[in-house]
Amino acid sequence: MSEAIRSGALALDHGHTMHYEVSGRPDGLPVVYLHGGPGAALEPHMRTLHDPQVYRLVMFDQRGCGRSTPAGELAFNDTTHLVQDIERLRRHLGIERWVVSGGSWGSTLALVYAQAHPERCLALVLRGLFLGTQAEMDWLAEGTPNFFPEAWFEATGAAPGEAPLERLKDLQDRVLGSDDDGAVLLAALALARFEWTASALQADRAVIDAELTPDYTRAYQRVCCYYLRHGCFIDPAALLAGVERIRHLPCHIVNGRFDAVCPPAAAWRLKQVWPEAELDIVPLAGHSSTEPAIADALGAVMTRLAYSLATARGAGT
């Protein structure tokens, strides 16, 4: 894209530093996009889904992730700190209110942030919804491998259904507990390749291998395993109950019908407690934001949202 991408480093607390990027119109409609994982990094592809003549898009790498430092650091790294970081970034950029968007784990974080700071939100856009329940976390070992048995076998050496939770725990233990850096990297790559393969209807192994560099993957999976081991530091029941604090906000939910990582049941469940929200279960689409049908649906949401928010502002609401 031709618009300038402005990046910076924001000092946080306890030695953490956040890498962030801003693109689009400096005076555009502000939107913050929260990446998934936990532990991944900001997604450059998201710039293509936000009209740079309309939006001021803010993205950042969460604690321990991407180009934030220290890479893979787990101390003082939890959901409460991430919510504080989002607020620190908002104040740093001088933004009063913004659209809060997130994918996968980012959708969870978006809900937590919005419920903590509803007065700072204009709307929510949630893709590949994840509510942080134990069943959803177990699904990666108990459900997803049934659709990608060869990828699961490559990661674990076992067929689907052969002590799946134990196999997943073993990989997580190796990522978090081994003093052997080679063993850590092998386990991290195994987990990441399986998840990324399962995220698309037609995964491109060459693209996956190119993106999963050793330094990125090691930090990514270290943070991911740590969060999953701690239930992502949230109470899923409280997350659903907290919808009452944000019910007045526009909410758009996009989920692939064949999302094998975050199946549409969670999105449907949120819709039941938030009937005012707009739910689009996209046919012939998986989990990733780069899935063509998901990207089209998200782009359409952002176009409609810009119009509806401009109309509401013009009407003084």
What does the H/E/C string look like for 81-129?
Answer: HHHHHHHHHHHHHCCCCEEEEEECHHHHHHHHHHHHCHHHEEEEEEECC
Q: Which of 68, 104, 288, 289 is catalytic?
A: 104
For the cut 90, the answer to whether the pLDDT of residue 314 exceeds it is: no
Q: Using alpha carbons, select from 25, 95, 88 the residue that is nearest to residue 60.
A: 88
Query: Which among 313, 305, 287, 314 is positioned nearest to 105, based on CA atoms?
Result: 287
Exposed, middle or buried: residue 212 (CB in 10 Å: 0-12, 13-18, 19+)? middle
pTM attached to this predicted model: 0.96
pLDDT at position 101? 98
Between the CA of residue 227 and those of 7, 93, 123, what are the distances in Å?
Answer: 27, 28, 26
Residue 40 · residue 46 · CB < 8 Å = no
| Residues 121, 96: Cα–Cα separation, whole Å | 9
Contact 260/286 with Cβ under 8 angstroms? yes
CA distances from 177 to 65, 82, 128, 145 (A): 19, 24, 30, 24
Sequence-distant (≥ 6) Cβ neighbours of residue 127 within 8 angstroms: 101, 102, 103, 104, 106, 107, 253, 254, 255, 289, 294, 298
287 is catalytic: yes
With cut-offs at 50, 70 and 90, classify the pLDDT of residue 1. very low
Residue of 259, 280, 288, 289 with catalytic role? 259
- The 10s digit of each residue's pLDDT in 289-300 is 999 999 999 999
Q: What is the CATH topology of the domain spanning 5-132+234-314?
A: Rossmann fold (3.40.50)
Say what the pLDDT of residue 2 is. 41
Whether 259 is a known active-site residue: answer yes
Give the neighbor-by-neighbor strand order of the sheet with 251-256. 5-11, 17-24, 55-60, 29-34, 98-103, 121-127, 251-256, 278-282
- The domain locations on the chain are 5-132+234-314, 137-231
Structure tokens at 239: 């997350």
Does 107 participate in catalysis according to the annotation?
A: no
pLDDT band at 181 (very low <50, low <70, confident <90, very high): confident
Q: What is the mean pLDDT of residues 83-100?
A: 98
**pLDDT range class, residue 265, cuts 50, 70, 90:** very high
pLDDT tens by residue, 108-122: 999 999 999 999 999
What torsion do the CA atoms of 223, 279, 271, 90 make, to the nearest 10 degrees? 50
Q: What is the mean pLDDT of residues 157-177?
A: 96
**What angle is formed at CA 299 by the lines to CA 297 and CA 303, rounded to 5 degrees?**
115
Segment holding 251, helix H or strand E:
strand 251-256
What tens digit of pLDDT does each residue of 213-248 get?
999 999 999 999 999 999 999 999 999 999 999 999
Nearest to 31 by CA among 301, 314, 317, 315: 301
Q: What percent of the chain has pLDDT over 70?
A: 97
Q: Is 266 helix (H, G, I), strand (E, B) or coil?
A: helix
Task: Choose the catalytic residue: 35, 287, 288, 289.
Answer: 287
